[in-house]
Amino acid sequence: MMSDVTTPVEKLRAAFGKTIVDVAILHGIPLVRVGKADVPLVAHYVHTHPELQGTLSLLWAVDHRPHEKRYELCYLFTLADPREWLLLAADLLDEDRLFPSITPHIHAAQWYEREIRDMFGLIAEGHPDLRRLVRHEHWPKGTHPLKKEFPWNTVLGRQQGQYAFRHIEGEGVFEVPVGPIHAGIIEPGHFRFSVAGEPIMQLEVRHFWKHRGVEKLFENHTLTTAVPLTERVSGDTTVGHSLAYCQAVETLLGLEVPRRARYLRSLFLELERLHNHLGDVGAICNDTAYTLAHAHGSRMKEQIMQLNDRLTGSRFLRGVNCVGGVDVDLEASRFDEVVAELDRLEKDFTELEEIIFANASLTDRLETTGFLNERTAIDHGVMGVVGRASNINRDVRRDHPFAAYDELQVKVALYRYGDVRARMRVRMDEIHESIRLIREVRARIPHGPIMAPPTRAPAPGEWALSAVEGWRGEILYFVMAGEDGAIHRCKVRDPSFVNWPAIQYAVLGNIIPDFPLINKSFNLSYAGNDL
């Protein structure tokens, strides 16, 4: 217990002494500033130290021009126990465009560092894979949209270029390209399989077809007007994204959200989790051609979406969250309606579960398919439903309570098998848990206002971070204020961005016909990933 006395920051001070330039605490998050050359060493220490075991949660850059001539790189780690945040920061001054890569030590950084290169033109030296990520090859050289001098409405030209896929060569090895347009009603993305016979030897995911420039568009908004944009980052996670954004802005504005609003936020977040999970359970079964379960699943999903519509006027719960609270209040009779509907639904769903589990041929398709082992999941920082199916015991609702989760105890579903069935089981357990939480909300919700007026304006350069456990997993928002309530920088991180690379490992050794099934069990967002 002695070691518990030293805080993570003190540990870093003891280990690195004068390499640490500065230490500060902002909104409860310790910020440790180091020279850029020392980042890999310090990051590696935080990542591997037995008492810290930091997981890289987010890595992003900020362009501080025109006021200061520097770029800032920020590395957000989530420590193991207690699950607190630790932020490492380093500056790139003047014309400096190079920074040392941490990817060789910390796998989870690989896409982030490629993203920073594309968006800012900053190059991670020593990164094993510096191909373009967001910018496809036809984007002109030198296009780095998040640099401040790049106008948001630039019309891009075109150049010639081709993405260099990784090839496996040998007798009987075939490549199967799939996408960007897929067979079902789903979003665009490209998958390149290398197969020898039936088993998949390699999968390469090529995404960012839907890149709309969301992060740049945030910079056209003020802190309070950007909520509708957050709702359209990934449409199926409307509440999750808008809530994460609102929380960050509320921290900046010093707003204390009323308790009633916090309970309503939990209610809407759980409704969103419910309709997505219900749809997914059915859709996973559908990808094994078990359409009966799909019909029931999509029927129940529709039931919740119609309930959403009756409660808020939007099937996707749009316009519910706003900075300072919520825009929709519910009368007591409405709560009774919700709980009565969910009671019926739970009975209905339990019967469906029995039908699904009684089906041996279905179980046979789901078990051991798309196995993601715990080690790979840890290395990639995999989170959410996918993580919890591979024994990653993380849930923001429990670890960093937000909304009303400090008073609602969340029981986290955890499985260790890491296959499609485990991911379906996590969803099933979470459906029951969401229904229980909504009952709790009805029992405990206090009366009072649902909105708090802003009390202060943030100083330019002030920032806040916020996390929300959306139905897919942890959604992170970093918001930095600019002049007069404008947004200087908004970094959006959907859990999909972290989980997509992991799917490349989960499919290995499986057959291509099982890929849709595995993909469905991950059910990641393309829009939230591509931004």
Q: Is 233 in the site for another protein (CB under 8 A)?
A: yes
Distance CA 334, CA 337 (A): 5
Residue 271 near residue 307, CB atoms below 8 Å: yes
Complete DSSP assignment for 142-200: T--TTSTTS-TTPPP-------------STTEEEEEE-SS-SSS----EEEEEEESSBE
The reply on whether position 358 binds another protein by CB under 8 A is: yes
**Residue 212 touching another protein (CB under 8 A):** yes
Spatial separation of the C-alpha atoms in residues 114 and 131, rounded to whole Å = 7
Task: Give how far the C-alpha of residue 363 lies from the chain's centroid of Cα atoms, to the nearest Å.
Answer: 29
For position 344 contacting another protein by CB under 8 A, the verdict is: no
355 binds another protein (CB under 8 A): yes
Nearer to another protein, 258 or 297 (CB): 297
Applying CB under 8 A, the span of 17-25, 119-127, 298-306, 456-464 interacting with another protein comes to 298-306
**Which of residues 232 and 398 has its CB atom nearest to another protein in the complex?**
232
- In DSSP terms, 124 is beta-bridged to 99
CB of 202 to another protein, least distance (A): 23
Give the shortest CB-152-to-another protein separation in angstroms. Answer: 6
Residue 463 · residue 478 · CB < 8 Å: yes
Written as six digits, the tokens of 69 are 């001539």
Distance CA 225, CA 222 (A): 5
Q: What is the SS3 assignment for 149?
A: coil
Which stretch, 119-127, 137-145, 437-445, 468-476, contacts another protein (CB under 8 A)?
A: 137-145
Q: Can you tell me the distance from the alpha carbon of 466 to that of 323, in angstroms, rounded to the nearest whole number?
A: 13
CB of 378 to another protein, least distance (A): 29
Q: Give the N- to C-terminal CA distance of the chain in Å, as an integer.
A: 44
CA-nearest of 87, 71, 169, 167 to 122 is 71
Q: How far is the CB of 136 from another protein (least distance, A)?
A: 5
* Beta carbon of residue 386, minimum distance to another protein (angstroms, whole number): 18
Q: Which residues are bridge partners to 59 per DSSP?
A: 75
Give the nearest distance from C-beta 299 to another protein in angstroms: 5
442, 444, 448, 454: CA torsion to nearest 10:
-100
Output 261 or 320, the one with its CB closest to another protein: 320
Candidates 166, 299, 344, 444: give the one binding another protein (CB under 8 A).
Answer: 299
Is 417 a binding residue for another protein by CB under 8 A? The answer is: no
| CB-nearer residue toward another protein: 104 or 319 | 319
- Any idea how long the chain is? 531
Only one of the segments 179-187, 385-393, 407-415, 466-474 lies at the binding site for another protein (rule: CB under 8 A); that segment is 179-187
| SS3 assignment, position 491 | strand
Among 1, 18, 153, 160, binds another protein (CB under 8 A): 153
Closest to 486 in 3D by CA, of 218, 217, 222: 222
Q: Which of 64, 216, 365, 472 binds another protein (CB under 8 A)?
A: 216
- 232 token code pair: 């359209």
Among 136, 148, 334, 432, binds another protein (CB under 8 A): 136
Rg of the chain taking only CA atoms, in angstroms: 23
Q: Name the one range near another protein by CB under 8 A: 81-89, 117-125, 245-253, 291-299.
A: 291-299
Residues 6 or more apart whose Cβ sits within 8 Å of residue 330: 264, 267, 311, 338
Query: Which one of residues 23, 93, 98, 156 is an interface residue with another protein (CB under 8 A)?
Result: 156
Out of 175, 219, 302, 327, point to the residue binding another protein (CB under 8 A).
302
| Count of CB atoms situated within 10 Å of the CB of 451 | 16
Task: State yes or no: residue 296 binds another protein (CB under 8 A).
Answer: yes
Quick one: which segment of 181-189, 393-401, 459-467, 511-519 binds another protein (CB under 8 A)?
181-189
**Mask 191-210, x = binds another protein (CB under 8 A)?**
-----------------xxx
| Residue from 108, 119, 195, 229 binding another protein (CB under 8 A) | 229
For another protein, the closer CB: 236 or 395: 236
Whole-angstrom Cα distance, residue 409 to residue 433? 10
Using CB under 8 A, pick the residue from 14, 155, 360, 459 that binds another protein: 155
Asked if 176 interacts with another protein (CB under 8 A), we say no
For residues 209 and 477, give the distance between their C-alpha atoms in angstroms, rounded to a whole number.
Answer: 22
Q: Helix 420-444 to helix 259-286 angle, to the nearest 10 degrees?
A: 150
Cα gap 253→184, rounded to integer Å: 44
Q: Should residue 114 be labelled a site residue for another protein when binding is judged by CB under 8 A?
A: no
CB neighbours (10 Å) of residue 465?
Answer: 23
Instruction: Fill in the amino acid letter for 330.
Output: L
3-state helix, strand, coil in the chain (%, to 5): 45, 20, 40
Which of 71-79, 109-117, 227-235, 474-482 is the region at the interface with another protein (rule: CB under 8 A)?
A: 227-235
Cβ neighbour number for residue 359 with a 10 Å cutoff: 17
Subset of 470-529 contacting another protein (CB under 8 A): 525-527
Q: Which residues bind another protein (CB under 8 A)?
A: 136, 138-139, 145, 150-156, 180-181, 183-188, 208-213, 216-217, 228-229, 232-236, 238, 279, 292, 295-296, 298-299, 301-302, 305-306, 309, 315-316, 318, 348, 351-352, 354-355, 358, 525-527
